Amino acid sequence: MIRLLVLILMLSLMPAGIFVADASVTGEQNLLLFYSNDVTGETEPCG
Amino acid sequence: MGGLSKKAYQLEKIRGLHELPGLTLDGGNLLFKQQRLSPGLLQQAKITAAGIIDSYNSMKYDAVAVGKNDLAAGLSFLQNQSARSEFPWLSVNLVRKSDQGPLFSAALIRRMGNISVGVIGLTAHDGSIQFGENEDAELLPWQEVLPDIVTDLTEKCDLLILLSNNVSNENEKIAEALPDIHMIIQSSPRSGNIAPKLTNKSLIVQTGKQGKYLGWMLINWQKSKTWGHTGAAKELATKKRELDGISGRISRIERHERKQDLPANANYQKLLAARETLFSEIIFLENELHDLKESGLTFSTFENHFIPLEVNLPDQPDVKKIVETTKLSVNQAGRNQAEESAISSAMPELQLEKLPFTGWETCAPCHSAQTSFWRKTGHASAYQTLASEEQQFNLDCLPCHVTGEYKDIRISNNDTVLLSLPAQLQQVGCEVCHGPGRNHAATRDTNAIFRKPDISICTRCHTAERDENFKYDNDIELIACPASK
């Protein structure tokens, strides 16, 4: 139980979204993904 | 479409900051606002749609899914536009009815550095799309087509993305049934952003409707082809905080109440039940994190961002030019429509004396204080504002800049009538808020006019998409006429 709690503590201290600096191995890759939908909006008013 | 040049600027900026391979995708429903367009709106809407495609070409989109709204001007229009798009339109389930052959590409495979990424397009199948008799097209349910292509692409790709314009529930079903899909980019008709949410093995994500946000992710994709559960650790911490809070409240009640009274204390019993639930959730999360650690795999991770495309952001010049040219073309098309209507004289609606709306000048003699006040408001110059932007013939804008509608009373169901309104109605006049005034003007009957507009009158135009700062209780005071204050 204590080991489990220590493990949980360690995991909870890990920041979200960790990145591997060097992803040069086949099957590993850092990439950018842009996404959107429904663009016919009114971000800029008609007048 | 004003947000497009803002989006293009942000794309360029982020691409420049991170020298990484990138994919730019759209979940669909980008060309038209509705699934069906009235004949009067069609011509202008098609010009706007073509402008959006030009902008997407300029932004170097990699793929777009075919959405229901994208078919609003007909299948052949979309096929023609697809031919001039520099990106593929994807739909795995929109097929020819005659032989079930594809009408659009089903998927795209793109090599990105060390990995291959597969992107599949899926069009929402909810029974709402009606194809014409001459259209050889059919929309198949995802269950019939998606499993096979996912199996095929799983062998060829390291990362598999589905562009789907289904609603959330349906996409969750897909995620449960097909765990080899790693991400679902959703384009469902809902208003807010959906931050990446892990459902089974898939991340489901969506930007809010009407193009108000650009979503982007930095992904570190690992050979495990599995998203890391950093979310579980976060959730565990939250649950533990909740547990501390509830335990404290339980202790306080136990200190202050007699023991024999506790079984009858509903709040106490409710807290005990909540503590039990939290206990089991915490144990589940702890076990999950433990199992993950034991497996020794390195998980794929992401950072997600939503960029609000606000009006004060910079514009990308090329796309700004496309948007401006498109808007001018739309206005010119409307001007031509108006001139054609005037020549044909086919619009009896344009004779003011036959309309329920009479114009603000009729109100002025009896309500001079009110009309004087109104003339200083933005409502009075609403049409003029459009004209100064060369958009006074844009049917997308016009209904909210003229006097032509009050609740279910409209000048005409023919949208093009608004292009040729008499000058007396070329403002957001008294009757937009108080109802058509012809009867009231003739009879002085106070029951024929409405004193204070209810919120539905305002939100016909001041929608969350157009005017996110609109607050009825505050804003109604700003435009309230003197006598009604």
Look at residues B260, B280, B308 and tell me which one is the last residue of a structural domain: B308
Answer yes or no: do B223 and A37 touch at CB < 8 A: no
Residues 448-477 of B with CB under 8 A from A: 463, 465-466
Answer yes or no: do A16 and B230 touch at CB < 8 A: yes
List the one residue out of B18, B123, B120 whose CA is nearest residue B68. Answer: B123
Asked if residue B420 has pLDDT above 60, the reply is yes
Answer yes or no: do B401 and A45 touch at CB < 8 A: no
Residue B325 domain-assigned? no
Residues B139 and B283 in one domain: no
Q: Is A3 on the interface with B (CB under 8 A)?
A: no
Residues B55 and B120 in one domain: yes
Residue B329 domain-assigned? no
pLDDT value of position B231: 66
Residue B434 domain-assigned? yes
**Which residue among A7, A16, A29 sits closest to B290, beta carbon to beta carbon?**
A7
Answer yes or no: do B220 and A20 touch at CB < 8 A: yes
Q: How many domains does chain B have?
A: 3
Count of A–B CB contacts within 8 Å? 223
Answer yes or no: do B236 and A8 touch at CB < 8 A: yes
**CATH number assigned to the domain comprising residue B58:** 3.60.21.10
pLDDT value of position B370: 93
Residues B455 and B402 in one domain: yes
Residue B322 domain-assigned? no
pLDDT per position as a tens digit, B376-408: 999 999 999 999 989 999 988 999 999 989 888
> Per-residue pLDDT averaged across B209-228, rounded?
86
All residues of chain B having their beta carbon less than 8 Å from the beta carbon of residue A42 are: 2, 210, 463, 465-466
Mutate to test the interface with B, among A2, A9, A29, A30 (most CBs of B within 10 A): A29
Structural domain that includes position B95: 3-228+300-308
**CATH number assigned to the domain comprising residue B406:** 1.10.1130.10
Residues B172 and B250 in one domain: no
Residues B147 and B94 in one domain: yes
Asked if residue B230 has pLDDT above 70, the reply is no
Answer yes or no: do B216 and A38 touch at CB < 8 A: no
Q: Is B1 on the interface with A (CB under 8 A)?
A: yes
Q: pLDDT > 90: what percent of chain B? A: 61
pLDDT per position as a tens digit, B78-89: 999 999 999 999
Q: What are phi and psi of B200, to 5 degrees?
A: 55, -115
Q: Provide the pairing of β-strand B183-186 with B159-164.
A: parallel
CA–CA gap between residue B141 and residue B181 (Å, rounded): 17
Q: Is A45 on the interface with B (CB under 8 A)?
A: yes
> Per-residue pLDDT averaged across B449-460, rounded?
91
| Mean pLDDT of all residues belonging to chain B | 90
Residue B449 domain-assigned? yes
Q: Is B324 on the interface with A (CB under 8 A)?
A: no
SS3 content of chain A, % helix, strand, coil (to 5): 25, 15, 55
Residues B146 and B21 in one domain: yes
Residues 12-71 of B with CB under 8 A from A: 14-15, 18, 20-33, 48, 52, 67, 69
Q: How distant, in Å, are the alpha carbons of A42, B42, B241, B256, B267 from that of B245?
A: 44, 58, 6, 17, 14
Look at residues B273, B295, B317 and tell me which one is the last residue of a structural domain: B295
CA–CA gap between residue B420 and residue B347 (Å, rounded): 9
ipTM entry? 0.79
> Per-residue pLDDT averaged across B142-160, rounded?
96
Residues B110 and B128 in one domain: yes
All residues of chain B having their beta carbon less than 8 Å from the beta carbon of residue A25 are: 114, 223
CA–CA gap between residue A5 and residue A20 (Å, rounded): 26
SS3 content of chain B, % helix, strand, coil (to 5): 45, 15, 35
**Which residue among A19, A34, A38 sits closest to B29, beta carbon to beta carbon?**
A38
Residues B64 and B202 in one domain: yes
CA–CA gap between residue B176 and residue B165 (Å, rounded): 17
**Which residue among B32, B211, B463 sits closest to A36, beta carbon to beta carbon?**
B211
pLDDT value of position B409: 87
CA distance B399 to chain A (A): 11
Q: Is B311 on the interface with A (CB under 8 A)?
A: yes
pLDDT value of position B344: 56
Which stretches of chain A drop beneath a pLDDT of 70?
Answer: 1-26, 38-47
Mutate to test the interface with A, among B217, B306, B381 (most CBs of A within 10 A): B217
CA–CA gap between residue B195 and residue B80 (Å, rounded): 34
Answer yes or no: do A40 and B28 touch at CB < 8 A: no
Query: Per mean pLDDT, which range of A20-29, B188-197, B216-225, B413-422 is the poorest?
Result: A20-29
Residue B76 domain-assigned? yes
Residues B406 and B266 in one domain: no
Residues B207 and B265 in one domain: no
Residue B335 domain-assigned? no
Asked if residue B157 has pLDDT above 70, the reply is yes
Q: Is B283 on the interface with A (CB under 8 A)?
A: no
pLDDT value of position B38: 83
List the one residue out of B289, B225, B303, B14 whose CA is nearest residue A15. Answer: B303
pLDDT value of position A45: 53
Residues B375 and B463 in one domain: yes
Mutate to test the interface with A, among B1, B188, B227, B327 (most CBs of A within 10 A): B1
Residues B286 and B304 in one domain: no
Q: Is B207 on the interface with A (CB under 8 A)?
A: yes
Check residue B370 and report its DSSP letter: H
Residue B316 domain-assigned? no
Residues 223-242 of B with CB under 8 A from A: 223, 228, 230-231, 233-234, 236-237
> Per-residue pLDDT averaged across B259-283, rounded?
90
pLDDT per position as a tens digit, B308-349: 888 888 999 999 999 999 999 999 999 998 888 766 555 555
